[in-house]
C-alpha cells in the first residue's frame, strides 16, 4: 500500500525488538489504540445519523403538500420518535467510547458506574464521593421530545410549505433536507452530552476536545483548532448554602445539580450546526500527546492563514482558504489492525497484573475484576484476529 507519509507506523515496526522497546518507553501502543477507538466512535456516530436520515426519508413519503396539517402532523410524530431513538443510540455509543478510550489510557483505573438511560427502570443508588452527582450510576439525560417535535415540524412540513409556490418536488426535497439536518444535530447531541457528563464526574478526565468529522466545514475546523477545553473552564463548581455542590455553566451562568442533563441543546458548551456530525472526546490526565495532533495541525493552519487579521476578517480568510479545496495537513496514515495488535501487546500485561492483584486481594472487588476480565478478553481477540 502506498503511503504519503515517509515515516509510517509500519516502517517503525519493521525492527520488532527495537519497536517494542520504543513503544514501552513512549506509550505509543496505547496512543495507537486510542486513535483507533476515536476513529471508530466518529464512524459510529455518523452511522447513527445515516440510519436516522434513512428513516426520515421513508417517513417523509407520508407528507402530502395538499394536506400539510394532517400529513405533516403524522410525520412530525413519527420523526420525533426516530430522533429520540437515535439520541439514545448516540448516548450508548458515546458511553462505550469513553469507557474504551479510558481503558486504553488508564487501564489501571477502577471501573466506572453503569450508564443509566431514562428509558430504563429507575435505579435507587446511594451518592458516593467518587461520583458526587448521580451516585452509583451515570445518569444520561432524556431527549426533550416536546422541543424535538416543535423543531421537526418547523424544519420539515412547514419548511416545505414555505417554499411554495415552488414546484412541489423542489419544496418536498428542501423540506426533507431541512428536517434531516436538524434531526442529525439534535440526535448526536445525546452522545456529546454523555461525553461531557463523563468528564464532569470522572477524576481521570480533565476536559474535552472537539473531534471533527471527515470533510468538516470551516466553522467546525476553527472550533476544533482551539484544542482542549478543561472542565474547570466549562463547569466551575460552587458550594451551596446547604453544604452540597452545584455547577455553573460559563456559557449561560445557569446553576445546575444533575451534571449536564439540565443543559438545553443551545447551552451545551460545544457549538454545532444542522447536519453537524462532529463529536467530542474526553481529555484524560497523562494522555498521549498524539491525541491532540490533528487539532494542533488545525491551530497551525489557522495561524498561517490569518496572520495580521482579527475577528471577522480572520474568520473570512480562514473560510476562503478552507473552502478553496486546499487540503489541510494530513495525520499519519495508520493501519487499524496494526494499531490494535501492538496496543494489545503493551496493555495486556498491565491489565493482567492488575487482575492478579485484584484476585489476591480481599473480597469486594467483583466489579473491578469483571472489568479487567472483559478488557483482557477484548484485547486478546485483537491478537487472535491478526
Share of the chain above pLDDT 70, in %: 73
pLDDT tens, position by position, 164-190? 888 999 999 999 999 999 999 999 999
pLDDT at 328 exceeding the cut of 70: no
If we measure between CA atoms, which residue out of 375, 372, 340, 345 comes closest to residue 358? 372
Q: What is the dihedral of CA 195, 197, 199, 204, to 10 degrees?
A: -100
By the 10 Å C-beta count (0-12 exposed, 13-18 middle, 19+ buried), 102 is classed as buried
- Over residues 10-16, mean pLDDT: 31
Write 159-164 long-range contacts (CB < 8 A, 24+): 160/63, 160/65, 160/68, 161/65, 161/68, 161/72, 164/65
**At residue 276, what are phi and psi to the nearest 5 degrees?**
-70, 130
Domain positions in the chain are 30-288+302-326
pLDDT reported for residue 2:
29
pLDDT at 139 exceeding the cut of 90: no
Q: How far is residue 184 from each of residues 20, 64, 158, 329, measured CA to CA in Å?
A: 43, 23, 18, 28
DSSP 263: -
pLDDT reported for residue 78:
96
Nearest-angstrom CA–CA distance, 53 and 31: 33
pLDDT tens, position by position, 233-266? 655 455 445 444 455 555 555 554 445 666 666 6
> What pTM, to 2 d.p., does this model score?
0.77
Spell out a b/e string for 124-133, using b for 16 or more CB atoms within 10 Å of the CB, else e.
eeeeeeebeb
H helix intervals, 324-363 = 336-360
Contact yes or no for 172/60 (Cβ under 8 A): yes
Amino acid at each position: 500500500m502506498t503511503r504519503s507519509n515517509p515515516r509510517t507506523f509500519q516502517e517503525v515496526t519493521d525492527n520488532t525488538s527495537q519497536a517494542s522497546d520504543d513503544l514501552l518507553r513512549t506509550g505509543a501502543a496505547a496512543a495507537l489504540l486510542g486513535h483507533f477507538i476515536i476513529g471508530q466512535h466518529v464512524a459510529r456516530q455518523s452511522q447513527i445519523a445515516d440510519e436516522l436520515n434513512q428513516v426520515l426519508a421513508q417517513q417523509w413519503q407520508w407528507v402530502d403538500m395538499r394536506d400539510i396539517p394532517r400529513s405533516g402532523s403524522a410525520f412530525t410524530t413519527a420523526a420525533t420518535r426516530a430522533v429520540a431513538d437515535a439520541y439514545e443510540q448516540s448516548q450508548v455509543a458515546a458511553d462505550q467510547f469513553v469507557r474504551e478510550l479510558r481503558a486504553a489510557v488508564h487501564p489501571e483505573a477502577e471501573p466506572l458506574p453503569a450508564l443509566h438511560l431514562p428509558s430504563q427502570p429507575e435505579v435507587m443508588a446511594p451518592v458516593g464521593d467518587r461520583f458526587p452527582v448521580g451516585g452509583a450510576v451515570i445518569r444520561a439525560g432524556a431527549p426533550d421530545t416536546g422541543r424535538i417535535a416543535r423543531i421537526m415540524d418547523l424544519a420539515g412540513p412547514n419548511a416545505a410549505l414555505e417554499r411554495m409556490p415552488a414546484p412541489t418536488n423542489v419544496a418536498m426535497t428542501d423540506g426533507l433536507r431541512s428536517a434531516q439536518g436538524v434531526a442529525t444535530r439534535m440526535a448526536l447531541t445525546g452522545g456529546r452530552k454523555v461525553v461531557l457528563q463523563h468528564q464532569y464526574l470522572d477524576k481521570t478526565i480533565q476536559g474535552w476536545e472537539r473531534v471533527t468529522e471527515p470533510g468538516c466545514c470551516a466553522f467546525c475546523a476553527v472550533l476544533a483548532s482551539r484544542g482542549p477545553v478543561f472542565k474547570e473552564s466549562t463547569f466551575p463548581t460552587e458550594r451551596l448554602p446547604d453544604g452540597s455542590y452545584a455547577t455553573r455553566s460559563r456559557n449561560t451562568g445557569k446553576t445546575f445539580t444533575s451534571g449536564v442533563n439540565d443543559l438545553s441543546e443551545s447551552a451545551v458548551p460545544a457549538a454545532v450546526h444542522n447536519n453537524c456530525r462532529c463529536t467530542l472526546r474526553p481529555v484524560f490526565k497523562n494522555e498521549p500527546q498524539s491525541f491532540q495532533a490533528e487539532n494542533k495541525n488545525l491551530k497551525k493552519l489557522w495561524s498561517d492563514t490569518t496572520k495580521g487579521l482579527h475577528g471577522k476578517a480572520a474568520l473570512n480568510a480562514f473560510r476562503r482558504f478552507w473552502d478553496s479545496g486546499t487540503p489541510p495537513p494530513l495525520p499519519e496514515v495508520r493501519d487499524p489492525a496494526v494499531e490494535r495488535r501492538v496496543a494489545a501487546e503493551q496493555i495486556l500485561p498491565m491489565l493482567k497484573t492488575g487482575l492478579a492483584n485484584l484476585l489476591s486481594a480481599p473480597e469486594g472487588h467483583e466489579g473491578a475484576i469483571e472489568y479487567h476480565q472483559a478488557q483482557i478478553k477484548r484485547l486478546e481477540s485483537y491478537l487472535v484476529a491478526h
